[in-house]
Structure 1
Amino acid sequence: MKFRALIFGALTMSAVGLAPAALLAQSLFGPAATVNDSVVTNYEVDQRAKFYKLIRRLGNLEKLALEDLIEDRLKSQAASSIGIEVDQNQLEAGMTEFAARADLKTPEFIKAIASEGVDVHTFRDFVRTGLLWRGVVQARFQGRVQISEAEIDAALGSSGQAGLRVLLSEIIIPVTPQTEEQVRDLANQISEIKSYRDFAEAARQYSASGSRNNDGRLEWLPLTRLPGPLQPVILELKPGEVTAPLELEGAIAVFQMRGIEEVPVKKAAIAAIEYGVLRLPGGRNPETIARAEEIRGNIDTCDDLYGVNFGGPEEALAIEARQPSEIPRGVALELAKLDRHEVSTALTSQDGSQLLFIMMCGRTATVNEEATREDVLNALRNRRLNSYADGYLEQLRADAVIEIK
């Protein structure tokens, strides 16, 4: 009897000891939502939120995670309904592509997220759903998207037809190795802005560009003025939308689309841009900025920079002509906003120790525009596909039975 009592007592104590863990497991793997009878668990929401934190997504991460997982169920169900699948090779390629954004190989990325409590399956599911949805969109809408040569010509502003010009607002935030983490977090927050007013306020508060005095607003710019890699990014924006943070030399930039329109233009692609960069020691300290403003007021042309640098180190001044694709992106962005003999002081060197005094000397036109046709074609196609995809996802959501627990 005593032996039986000890056994009963041990079992009772074990049951009591396991009860909190069991309840936790039940809660963790319980439903956070159902989507057409497909369950989204609390564990998935927790994992996705942790994943978003690691890739520096901002906002209410738990709320975003739940909303995105609900959409993922809709996307997966849509893929299943038309037989879209992702094989192992496609999945591995997608994971490799995503990990490369962090300059990591897939095993390194998996190890990094695992150290922060994110399971590899969370990463795999995230990538797999993206690939499935891409397949759904292409299968349903690819045939509807026909981009004509005339549309590409119009976007490029060639053959005397209508060209595209864009109305942007900008925020250029200086960055140094010491401030990199804080600036990245700030730029990520700005990229989530949804209103013109909030973007304007952020520009006044944080931007180093002269446009901050105008709420970050730029004048109309021909699309072809922008650096080639940036053109597709800008083309995909709708009015009010904001780019992800863009890496520049000594700065991070964020742009907001305010307008896009077609205008009659002459055929004038740019073969080369001549510009000068004078590196002023001191970075963005008040003395260096004051010196830059003094120089700006005392020179008229790029040749005058030689006089400014007279007696100084030769490497401090470079005046050269380059093809647009050869110009560093940050410098190219500043040059896009400048007319001949105008100046920008928004950028610094990578370590923040030098202020870059950038002066536009001149542009040389060419008739060869083939280098950007493929970019514009892909941007126009993706923009149209994204529009179809957004509409289809809204339709799926409207037709679904979704219950938040």
Structure 2
Amino acid sequence: MFKLKPLVAAAGLVAILGGPAMAQNLFAPIATVNDSIVTEFELQQRIRFLSLLNAPGATRKAALESLISERLRNEAVRDSGLEVTEEGVNNALEEFASRANLSLPEFIDVLSQAGVDRETFRDFVVNAVTWRDLIRARYGARVSISESEIDGLLSTQGSGASNLRVQLSEIIIAAPPEEAARVGAIAERIADSKSTQEFSSFAREYSATASRDAGGRLPAQALSDLPPSLQPLILALSPGEVTQPLNIPNAVALFQLRDIQETGVSAPVYSSIEYAAYYLTGGRSAETLQQAANLRAEIDVCDDLYAFAKGQPEGVLDRETKAPGELPQDFAIELSKLDPGEVSTALTRSNGQALVFLMLCSRTAEQNAEISREEAANTIRQRRLSGFADSYLEELRADARISIK
């Protein structure tokens, strides 16, 4: 939708566009594009039309470039043999007028009062429609969109109030029931860590997560990516301090804040997290961990897990979509570290007898919560086709004979 400029302002363009010299020969060519010409009249009309729409490009230089591009597009459409019906033209004109909340006759009347010829409006719209149809016909078959690309779009474009990024180190210690007291004592000792070096040493010795080899150090991440229950605990820390032990199923977790920074960009806020949890019998035994590693090498997306779960007891595979605050805390902690398609094997269930093969399927940004996958796919498709259109136009321009008077 656009807003038309007041008619008095549009009418005033007549005086702005040029003096007597320009009015002497409005139909003299001011540019040639191959065998086509662009006249002074067309240029003045285009500037007046764009200004009335309050659109960018309502300058002499930009409007001339627009008309030259239009000539190139018209030639390409003509050479392709593509035609548009009169019914299709009228539909396009009516749709354009509706963006200003006007009927087609009302819109044309506004144009007429502003000194814009109906054919100027028609040429502008028809060129856009036929060029769009040509690009779809020429490049549509080349545009394939994967489910992961749709997931990627849905997980972006949201903004939250928080623009804080944190650098954390983690330790998650397996704590089956028979080991709970011993692990609890270790966790209390870790909570008293006085330096990042000491915490890292504990991580290498005790942690069950993939980060243990890096001393528990995690990459910097947005505070809003952390589980909602963990965010206030981290904000309460000063750099170097450690959370109190957090009891999660069959494990204890501790986090150390290394640094906190304020960025100039707000982080996304997610409305939902989709994940898959595949349960492998054997807990954290070497054999089960190797089985998990083998499985990870064979799958790319959550859907791939269904083939491995087929024929097994119900409940061996959970696929869920939940709001961040509804996730189990240990799942939320692990999922916050993952990108779609990545896996964690840090957690267990059934008193440590089942290893959780936890995979992040997708995140949906709060801003995109109401966007369907089909709408997301169409957005990606239009971006791709727009890229093809820009490249094709540059190719046409490079091959053309263009002269500006």
Q: TM-score, normalised by structure 1?
A: 0.51
Distance 2:235 2:162 in 1: 15
Instruction: Measure, in 2, the Cα distance between the counterparts of 1:254 and 1:238.
Output: 15
- Paired position in structure 2 for 1:167: 167
Aligned partners of 2:323 and 2:216: how far apart in 1?
28
Shift of the alpha carbon at 1:229?
1.2
**Deviation for aligned residue 1:293:** 0.6
Once the two structures are superposed, residues 102-160 of structure 1 have per-residue CA deviations (whole angstroms, 9 ceiling, x without a partner) of: xxxxxxxxxxxxxxxxxxxxxxxxxxxxxxxxxxxxxxxxxxxxxxxxxxxxxxx9867
CA distance in 2, matches of 1:264, 1:334: 26
**Aligned counterparts of 1:358 and 1:246: Cα–Cα separation in 2:** 20
Give, in whole Å, the separation in 1 of the partners of 2:280 and 2:159.
42
Pairing 1:211–2:204 present: no
Residues 299, 194 of structure 1: CA spacing in aligned structure 2 closer, same or farther, 3 A cutoff? Answer: same
Name the aligned partner's letter for residue 176 of structure 1. Answer: P
Q: How does 1:371-382 map to 2 (within 5 A)?
A: none
* Amino acid of the structure 1 residue aligned with 2:168: L
Would the alpha carbon gap of residues 161 and 172 (structure 1) be closer, same or farther in structure 2, given more than 3 Å must change?
closer
**Which letter maps to 1:268?**
P
Q: Residues of 2 paired with 1:190 and 1:278: CA distance?
A: 31
Which residue identity is paired with 2:322? R
Matched-pair contact (CA < 8 Å) for 1:345–1:356: yes
Larger radius of gyration: 2
- Asked if the contact 2:277/2:317 (under 8 Å) is kept, the reply is yes
Scaled by the length of structure 2, the TM-score of the pair is 0.51
Structure 2 counterpart of 1:234: 234
Are 1:275 and 1:358, in contact at CA under 8 Å, matched by a contact in 2? yes
* Counterpart position of 1:202: 202
Aligned residues of 2:158 and 2:270 also touching (Cα < 8 A): no
SS in 2 for 1:275: strand
Does residue 331 in structure 1 map to residue 328 in structure 2?
A: no
Alignment of 1:38-53 (within 5 A): none
What's 1:304 paired with?
A: 304
Structure 1: how far apart are the matches of 2:350 and 2:197? Answer: 31
CA-CA distance at 1:219 after TM superposition: 0.3
Give the drift of 1:313: 1.4
- Residue 192 of structure 1 aligns with which residue? 192
Q: Measure, in 1, the Cα distance between the counterparts of 2:172 and 2:236.
A: 20
Residue pair 2:275, 2:321 contacting (<8 A) in 1 also: yes
| C-alpha distance in 1 between matches for 2:162 and 2:229 | 22
- Tell me which residue corresponds to 1:264: 264
Could you say what secondary structure the match of 1:189 adopts? helix
Per the alignment, residue 320 of structure 1 pairs with 320
Contact kept? 1:269, 1:368, Cα under 8 Å: no
Match of 2:65 in 1: none
Query: Take 2:159 and 2:200, find their aligned partners in 1: how far apart are those partners?
Result: 37
CA RMSD for the aligned pairs? 2.0
How far apart, CA to CA, are the structure 2 residues paired with 1:161 and 1:326?
Answer: 20
2:381 is matched with none
> What's the counterpart of residue 286 of structure 2?
286
Q: Deviations over 1:285-337 (max 9, x none)?
A: 11101101111111100001111212211201011100111110000000000
Shift of 1:191: 0.4
Shift of 1:268: 2.3
Q: Residues 162 and 223 of structure 2 are in contact (CA less than 8 Å); yes or no, is this contact kept in structure 1?
A: no
Alignment of 1:382-393 (within 5 A): none
- Alignment partner, residue 177 of structure 1: 177
**Would the aligned equivalents of 2:277 and 2:356 in 1 still touch at CA under 8 Å?**
yes
User: Residue type matched to 1:252 in 2?
Assistant: V
Q: Establish whether residue 224 from structure 1 lines up as the match of residue 224 from structure 2.
A: yes
Inter-partner Cα distance in structure 1 for 2:271 and 2:188: 34
Amino acid at match of 1:264: G
Moved over 4 A (4+): 157-162
> 2 CA distance for matches of 1:290 and 1:301?
19
Q: Using the TM superposition, give the Cα deviation of residue 196 of structure 1 relative to its aligned residue in structure 2, in angstroms.
A: 1.0
1:252 corresponds in structure 2 to 252
Per-residue deviation, residues 159-218 of structure 1 (Å, max 9, x unmatched): 677700110000010111110100111111100111111111110010000000111000
User: Which residue number corresponds to residue 100 of structure 1?
Assistant: none
2:228 counterpart SS class: coil
Q: In 2 relative to 1, CA 241–290 (structure 1 residues): closer, same or farther, beyond 3 Å?
A: same
| Shift in alpha-carbon separation, 1:161–1:180, aligned structure 2, 3 A | closer
Query: Residue 258 of structure 2 aligns to which amino acid in structure 1?
Result: R
* Mapped partners of 2:279, 2:159: distance in 1: 40
**How many Å apart are 1:250 and its aligned residue?**
1.8
Q: Is the 8 A contact 2:165 2:222 kept in 1?
A: yes
Secondary structure of the residue that 2:163 maps to in structure 1?
strand
- 1:66 is aligned to none
Deviations 1:41-93 (A, max 9, x none): xxxxxxxxxxxxxxxxxxxxxxxxxxxxxxxxxxxxxxxxxxxxxxxxxxxxx
- The 1:292/1:265 distance shift into structure 2, 3 A limit, reads same
- After alignment, is 265-274 or 223-232 more displaced? 265-274
Q: Tell me, yes or no, if the aligned pair for 1:162 and 1:263 is still in contact at 8 Å.
A: no
Unaligned segments of structure 2, at least 5 residues: 1-156, 370-405
Kept in 2: contact 1:176–1:350 (CA 8 A): no
CA displacement at 1:249 relative to structure 2: 2.0
Which segments of 5 or more consecutive residues in structure 1 lack a partner in the other structure?
Answer: 1-156, 370-405
User: Is residue 161–residue 265 contact of structure 1 (8 Å, CA) maintained in 2?
Assistant: no
Where 1:314 maps in the other structure, the secondary structure is coil
Distance 1:219 1:261 in 2: 13
Q: 1:294, 1:179 → 2: CA distance?
A: 28
Tell me the CA shift for residue 265 of structure 1. Answer: 2.6
How far apart are the structure 2 equivalents of 1:350 and 1:220?
32
